[in-house]
Structures are given as C-alpha cells and as structure tokens.
Structure 1
Amino acid sequence: MKWWERLQQEMDALGWNKAELSKRSGVSYDSINKYLRGETDNPRGNVIDKLADAIGRSRVWLRDGVVLEPQSEVSPSLAKWVQARKVGIVSASLFREVDEFDQSEPEEITVPRDEKFPDARQLTFDVEGDSMNDLRPRPIMPGDTVVATAYEDIAGRVVLRDGMVVVVQRTRDGGHMREWSVKQIEIYEDRTEFHPRSNNPKHKPIVVQRQFDADDGVTVEIIGLVRMVLNTMPGF
C-alpha cells in the first residue's frame, strides 16, 4: 500500500473529502488532489507531518506504514522497568523490502526505564554488521541490542547536537525498500551528517543538505535516539 492510499483509507474512515482534509491540514486542495492521484512519492518539506497530524496518525505510519504502538499509560511510568517494542534489525547499507502484510504481534522486552524521558516509547533494534564497532567510548557490536527512545515522542524537547547516536531510517523506491541503521550525528551550518564509526572503510556517512530530504528519491529520517546498548552472553 502506498502512502497516499493509507491517507485515502483514513479519510474514508473519518468521512472526510479532500476539501475537509485541506481545511484541517493547511495543505492546499490542489496538492492533496495530486497526492491522492499518486503523482508524488515523497512530498517535500513538512507536508507529511501536516497530513499525519490532521488524520491523527504518526508521520512514520503515513509515510512508511510502520506502526509504533502508543503507551497504555499517558502519565510517566514510575516503574524501574518498562516494556519496549522490538522493531527490527539495524544494518548499515542493507535495504530490505518493506513487508506491508506482516500481521504478527509485536514482540516486547523489558528494559530499564529512561529517567530522562519516562513518558516516551522505548524501541529496541537488533544490531547486524560492523558499522559502529569503533564507536567511542563503547562500540556497538554485532549481536548487541540498542534501546532507543522514539524520536517522534521527544522531537519537540530535544535539540539535535554533535555526538548523539541515533537510529536512522532511509527509504527508496517509493517507500518499498527501507534501511534502518545506527549513526552518530555531526551537524554543520548547511548540512547534517550521519556517520558510521567503524574500522571497515566500506561504511560511508549519510549527508543531508539543510533538511532530512535527499534529492535522489531517498528519504532520511531519525526514528530513535539511542539511550542504551544491551548484550546477552552466549551459552545460556
């Protein structure tokens, strides 16, 4: 299913026409017409955000069909341990076909509560490959699990800065192919760079000029701020 088909699906469920969506989102009627005809794979700027907000869905769901389940508790948890959703595998330079028909129940594990962001969702990713095996002061190795705070939940409270380690999502081919990888941020006046930290020279940084929208049909988005790395010792 394409992103505009998900948009149409939600409009139908809400009983909205294009004029209603235009009024509620602030996106022009003509633009919405074009989107719903499938003429634009990757809208520029914050159009996806506006449309997602209008229909009450997340950006990542509207654009990529990825469901990040909301917490059952609205108030911050006081428990020392919380449930974190296991999202998938992070592996640099490996694009995987998006399985839009995966109806399996999301797996959850228990992780220590993030004291800084107790009201945000926690996501976990299994690490493949060596793209962060030279990260300092602690490398991220194949077989590790990274625990990340959902960036969508904290974007308004966190200023991105040099040295932050994040989970980056890249999509291409109209959203059919997706890569999740862990990178370290370097911020410059005219661009943001997402760097591997590896002793393997094949891994290259992702360089994004001005906004997190590439010019080659590839979209780039931060989906998680890495807060913890876990590792289970083999043999048990």
Structure 2
Amino acid sequence: MRNIANYASAKMRRDLNDLICENAHMSKDVRTLRSEQQNYIDGIKERTGKSYSAIARAIGVAPSTIVRFMDDAASSHSLSAKTMEKLKVVFDLPNVSTPNIEHLLYSEPVALAGSIQAGVWQDTGLFTPQAPPEYIMIAPDERYPGVRRWAFRVRGDSMDKLYPDGTIVVAVSFFDLCRQPKTGDKVIAIRKEHGLEEATLKEIEMLDDGSVALWPRSTNPRFSQAIIINNTIDENIPDDGCHGDYRIEALVIQSIRRE
C-alpha cells in the first residue's frame, strides 16, 4: 500500500510539475505577444501622431481598450485577434488614402432648433440657449472647434436649388465666429417685426455701397429678387419694434439631405 501511495504521490508531483511548466510556457507566449502588440501600437502612434484613445476611436473600440493595454504594467493580457485586425485594416492599408474613420465613428449632439421657411413667422429666439426638444448626431467639424452649432430643417422652395425642402442645415452664429459675413456665404437672415421673427435662408452679396443683398436660389419665380438691406438709418422711422428689421444671424457650414 505504501508503494502504491508513493507512486500516486510521485505521479501527482510529476503532473503538477508538467502543469506548472506548461503554464509558464503559455505565460511567456502571452508576454511575448503583448510586447509585440504594444510595439506595433507605439509604431502607429509615432507614425500618425494620434494618441492611444484616438487610435481606439479610429477602429471603433472604447478608448480604454487601447489606453489600459498600453499603460497598465500590471496587466498580462493581449489584444484579441479581432482588435488587431481592425488596427491593420485602418492603419496598414498600403498606398491607400485612409478616410478619417475617427470622425465617422465619433459624433456630437447638435440642437435641432426649428425650421426655416420664407414667409412663415414664429416666436423669437431661434438661437437661444434653451433646451430644444430634439437633437441630431453630427460628426465634429475641425474648422470650428469649440463653437456651438445649431441645426435647422429647411421648409419650402425659396432656396431649393441648393437646399431642397426637408434639408437639414447646420449653422454657427456670426457672433461666435467674431467675423462679418462675406460675399458667397450661405446665411440665415432674421427679419423681426411686431415681436415675431421670420427666418430665411439666403446667399449673401456685399455691394459696393455697403448694402447687403440676400439672394434666393430658387426654382420658384416668386423667389427671384434679392432682398436689399441698406446701410443707412432712416431717422424718420421710430425704433418701436413695429417696423421690419433684418439681421444676419448665422453662417451655414453644412447641409444634410437625400440625393
């Protein structure tokens, strides 16, 4: 019986020793793979100038997936084959201009503040900080970092050559841009009268005499003439809020429509 017990004990020791050796070998393989993957990602970072979180967003995974893998020295795992394949698809396509997938994957909520339609009067306050009932998700625009954007739905045909009925336009306030409108800008102009506002979408032209022409781009003959905003002030008209008053409110920077 003692011999049998000794044999069993020896066999258990051999099995345990084999298991320890096997695990040590597997850990070594994981450590090697992890090191290779980290070197590969550092190469991407050096080549593209992107941060670890930006690399993660570019392939559609959570930033922590790459950040923790690269920065957590206590961790011993390797990235999955699926994640590595995404990295290779995005960053290793030879002789191909890779689209900015990061901007396609990352979007921001933009307030859908209302509709724009010539001839329709509504309450004032299109560009107010009050929370609107609806938002749309739009990719960031690196041309206007930190500038609040507003979205409007175009109604009617007063500008349908450029923005057909149903188009959503995204605009930024000229006040936030700290610049004046210039010829060729597509703008949102506001006409205020009797406490109401009419928002209209037009293309602007700065005239030689300092006046401003707001041009419709419409297939409808009804909208064929420019609205002229003079730079003179008629002192005979009282400033009582009852006469028409135009202001150029915002610059259109993007449109979203069906083809």
Task: Find the counterpart in structure 2 of residue 152 from structure 1.
Answer: 175
Task: Find the counterpart in structure 1 of residue 85 from structure 2.
Answer: none
**Residue of structure 2 aligned with 1:168, choices 168, 175, 189:** 189
- Alpha carbons of 1:232 and 1:212: their partners in 2 closer, same or farther (altered >3 Å)? farther
Q: What is the TM-score with the length of structure 1 in the denominator?
A: 0.55
Consecutive unaligned residues of structure 2, counting only runs of 5 or more, are 1-101
Q: What is the TM-score with the length of structure 2 in the denominator?
A: 0.50
Which has the greater radius of gyration?
2
Give the paired residue count.
147
Are residues 1:198 and 2:248 paired?
no
| Larger deviation, residues 144-153 vs 78-87 | 78-87
Identical positions, percent: 26
How much is the aligned-residue C-alpha RMSD, in angstroms?
3.2
- CA offset at residue 97 of structure 1? 4.5
Task: Find the counterpart in structure 2 of residue 42 from structure 1.
Answer: none
Which secondary structure does the structure 1 equivalent of 2:147 belong to? Answer: coil
Deviation string, structure 1 residues 172-231 (Cα, Å, up to 9, x no partner): 01xx22111110001112200111111212124221111699968111112211011112
User: One-letter code of the match for 2:256?
Assistant: L
Contact 1:124 1:145 in 2 (8 A): yes
Q: Report 1:46-61 matches (<5 A).
A: none
- CA offset at residue 150 of structure 1? 2.1
Which secondary structure does the structure 2 equivalent of 1:194 belong to? Answer: strand
Which secondary structure does the structure 1 equivalent of 2:176 belong to? Answer: helix
Consecutive unaligned residues of structure 1, counting only runs of 5 or more, are 1-77
User: One-letter code of the match for 1:226?
Assistant: V
- CA offset at residue 93 of structure 1? 2.2
Deviation string, structure 1 residues 22-47 (Cα, Å, up to 9, x no partner): xxxxxxxxxxxxxxxxxxxxxxxxxx
Deviation string, structure 1 residues 148-192 (Cα, Å, up to 9, x no partner): 1122200x2x3422111011111101xx22111110001112200
Are residues 1:187 and 2:206 paired?
yes
**Residue of structure 2 aligned with 1:111, choices 112, 117, 138:** 138
| Larger deviation, residues 203-212 vs 213-222 | 213-222
- CA offset at residue 133 of structure 1? 1.6
Task: Give, in whole Å, the separation in 2 of the partners of 1:162 and 1:226.
Answer: 13
Question: Relative contact order: is structure 1 or structure 2 higher (C-alpha 8 Å, sep ≥ 6)?
Answer: 1
Give 1 or 2: higher helix fraction.
Answer: 2
Task: Find the counterpart in structure 2 of residue 27 from structure 1.
Answer: none
Q: Report 1:23-38 matches (<5 A).
A: none
